[in-house]
Amino acid sequence: VDQPTEDKPFHLAVDRSRKVDAPAQVTPSNENQTLEEMKSKLAESRAALVELEETASEENLKQKSFPHPVFGLMDLKQWIDFIGYHEKRHQEQIEEIKTAIGA
């Protein structure tokens, strides 16, 4: 959508007191993949993100918006900033699981 949006409180993504189900399009499938395939896909995705951030102006990033399942319409600048908070949420989940299993 060609539309700027207001700032969203995406920093709340690290608050794990509220469970959020991932939308269907990003829920893991039952398709078997090797660790190398997953790492390759992640590297490709990360490279595309870095390229976008390095080549697009902040003003252009603020003009394009896409919906987030919890925070609503967010511009691309917010989406890029959100990624770190989202990854921190998952890192805390991993640490919690490791503690639970005594790892």
Percentage of the chain lying above the pLDDT 90 cut: 52
Q: Which of 85, 84, 63 is nearest to 74 (CA)?
A: 63
- pLDDT at position 73 is 93
- pLDDT at position 59 is 93
* Burial of residue 1 (number of CB atoms within 10 Å: 0-12, 13-18, 19+): exposed
Percentage of the chain lying above the pLDDT 70 cut: 100
